[in-house]
Amino acid sequence: MLEKTLVAVLPFIVVLTIGAVFVGRYLARVFQGQHTFLTPIVGGVERGLLRIFGVRQDEEQTWKQYAVSLLLFNALGLCFLFILQLLQQWLPGNPQHLGAVRLDTAFNAAVSFMTNTNWQSYSGETTMSYLTQMLGMTVQNFLSAATGISVAIALVRGFVRRSTNSIGCFWVDLTRALVYVLLPMALVLSLVLVSQGTVQTLRPTVALTTLEGQAQRIAVGPAASQVAIKHVGTNGGGFFNANAAHPFESPNPFTDLLLVFSLLLIPAALPFTFGEMLGDRKQGTALFLAMLIMFSIGLGISLHYELAGNPALAQAGVAGGVNMEGKEQRFGPIMSTLFAQSTTVTSTGAVDSMHDSFTPIPGLIMVFNMTVGEVIFGGVGVGLVGMLLYVVLTLFIVGLMIGRTPEYLGKKLEPREMLMAVVGLLGPPIAMLLMAGLAFSIPSAVASAANTGSHGMTEIIYACASAAGNNGSAFAGLNANTPFYNVGLALLMLVGRFATILPGLAIAGSVAAKKRVQSGVTFSTTSTLFVFMLIFVVTIVGGLTYFSPLVLGPLLEFLKLR
């Protein structure tokens, strides 16, 4: 089994790494305004869009201007999507004549897609019209991902630059992320998906009669285009409720693997972009390695328990071997576990299997992946930002322990950076714990969980972790389409998103203004020791925060099963 697993997973990791290196360098060229192979094709589009915005290509903003532009842009997107859902019954592109979306659901969905979470408390095919899906959801899929990339690039610039107030221009970064990165990648991916059988049509639901003579309605729609961007942009909101487990989204093992690859690609590439823009590739490689090691350890543990199967079933003599519950026959346990691990580390939230049905320890790993703040690759852009916040924290401690006032890349880490790192790293967990605590204190909220005891606990903390981490995947089993969860989780998503983005931009602004100091004895942030320190800090912060719910939820369930 071990060899089989390695044969399946190792080549994937190798291909991912190679892909990430190339995409990383490409991104660096794009955001430094250098010529790329796509410039002749999309350069005109970029210039045209910037002219519409009234922005010059070499425009610069301070971090505050950058943040205000970003907030304004996202607020507009939020309002548009919210209103679109309320008005969809009077708008075209609604062949199924779906009514207006419920107010709390619409708010939740609007926040969810604007924050790149794509938590869906509704069932897509029976709630959202084609127009809402395409003009609302899909557009936000692009824009939220582009927003994330822009923030990461701005933060990288902060570390690259010295003694300046500006960190780039949001409108330029946003435009470049769209026309050079997200649109081309989504286009290529959706064409490949369509070639494999993913549906892409504007026809309404297909009605037919089955062999047994039953009437059946089969939902179809413009799926391939939304599936492509939901992975490339680590969004995760499926066209169909079953998400990537649905054969119309991911017809075969090849598309399944392709979807995993495409959701990991940009988050894995950004550390390399960081190294490239710094002119010190090793710095990026170190961050990538820290992410990859954490990814692989989690994957290894999950695979071990999934392949070992459910001990309770084995004891009962019902079934032995691997845990197939909630998994597609097409994909099997190894690919489903790889998908689950990838989708939870990257804040994507797309699923090809039911996470609720995994054995308890993989369930624990998935919650852990989200609760450390989505930094193991993480969401496009924000993953790197979150990881850099951890780097600030790590190097603060490291600096002290080697007797130096802390610094990273020659930038002194002072109270301002620390404040921002603490807000960014501890804000979302605090909000998440408060929301979960509130949910467990309200009987009706507890009743939304399908299960009681440990499993029910995991269902609720998973939902909260998913919202705070802007992941969007659901553990299933929890009916979150209630006003309490819709509003509470929406607020949690906003905290999770902007408590990372704004501190990230603030740090970008403050480190950009600093000079770069070189000093005699300094700790190498490309060393193995640094990589392990970083992993240790991420683990201990996540572990200490969620110790009790993880013990009472998945761990207790695991112990009971033995």
Handedness of CA 494, 437, 347, 354 (dihedral sign): negative
Shortest distance, CB of residue 360 to another protein, whole angstroms? 12
Alpha carbons 252 and 198: distance in angstroms, whole number: 9
Query: Among residue numbers 183 through 212, which ones bind another protein (CB under 8 A)?
Result: none
> Is residue 437 close enough to count as binding another protein by CB under 8 A?
yes
| Residue 352 to residues 149, 194, 236, 473, 547, Cα–Cα distance (Å) | 25, 18, 11, 11, 28
Alpha carbons 154 and 70: distance in angstroms, whole number: 12
Answer yes or no: are the C-beta atoms of 162 and 168 closer than 8 Å.
no
Shortest distance, CB of residue 429 to another protein, whole angstroms? 6
> Is residue 415 close enough to count as binding another protein by CB under 8 A?
yes
What residues pair up with 343 in beta bridges, in sequence order?
A: none
Shortest distance, CB of residue 85 to another protein, whole angstroms? 32
Pick the closer one to another protein by CB: 254 or 532.
Answer: 532
Place of tokens 């820290």: 290
The count of chain residues that interact with another protein, using the rule CB under 8 A, is 64
Shortest distance, CB of residue 531 to another protein, whole angstroms? 13
> Is residue 148 close enough to count as binding another protein by CB under 8 A?
no
- Sole window of 111-119, 166-174, 215-223, 542-550 interacting with another protein (rule: CB under 8 A): 542-550
Shortest distance, CB of residue 280 to another protein, whole angstroms? 15
> Is residue 447 close enough to count as binding another protein by CB under 8 A?
no
Answer yes or no: are the C-beta atoms of 77 and 456 closer than 8 Å.
no
Binding test (CB under 8 A) with another protein, winner from 10, 41, 314, 559: 559
> Is residue 279 close enough to count as binding another protein by CB under 8 A?
no
Q: Is 52 exposed, middle or buried (0-12, 13-18, 19+ CB in 10 A)?
A: exposed
> Is residue 54 close enough to count as binding another protein by CB under 8 A?
no
Shortest distance, CB of residue 418 to another protein, whole angstroms? 4
> Is residue 540 close enough to count as binding another protein by CB under 8 A?
yes
Binding test (CB under 8 A) with another protein, winner from 276, 306, 417, 459: 417
> Is residue 441 close enough to count as binding another protein by CB under 8 A?
yes
Closest by Cα among 166, 158, 228 to 196: 228
Answer yes or no: are the C-beta atoms of 320 and 314 closer than 8 Å.
yes
Which residues touch 11 (CB under 8 Å, ≥6 apart)?
none
> Is residue 547 close enough to count as binding another protein by CB under 8 A?
yes
Pick the closer one to another protein by CB: 83 or 312.
Answer: 312
Q: Fill in the per-residue mask, 392 to 411: x = in contact with another protein (CB under 8 A), - = not in contact.
A: -x--xxxxxxxxxxxx--x-
Residues in the chain: 562
> Is residue 436 close enough to count as binding another protein by CB under 8 A?
yes
Q: What is the CA radius of gyration of the chain?
A: 23
> Is residue 312 close enough to count as binding another protein by CB under 8 A?
no
| Residue 101 to residues 124, 126, 138, 218, 221, Cα–Cα distance (Å) | 11, 10, 17, 22, 19
> Is residue 430 close enough to count as binding another protein by CB under 8 A?
yes
- Sole window of 44-52, 130-138, 266-274, 509-517 interacting with another protein (rule: CB under 8 A): 509-517
Pick the closer one to another protein by CB: 307 or 421.
Answer: 421
Phi then psi dihedrals of residue 206, to 5 deg: -85, 130
Alpha carbons 188 and 527: distance in angstroms, whole number: 37
Answer yes or no: are the C-beta atoms of 392 and 398 closer than 8 Å.
no
Closest by Cα among 457, 459, 468, 461 to 356: 459
Shortest distance, CB of residue 301 to another protein, whole angstroms? 18
Chain contacts with another protein (rule: CB under 8 A): 393, 396-407, 410, 413-415, 417-419, 422-423, 425-426, 429-430, 433-434, 436-438, 440-441, 446, 453-454, 456-457, 515-524, 527, 529, 533, 540, 543-545, 547-549, 551-552, 556, 559-560, 562
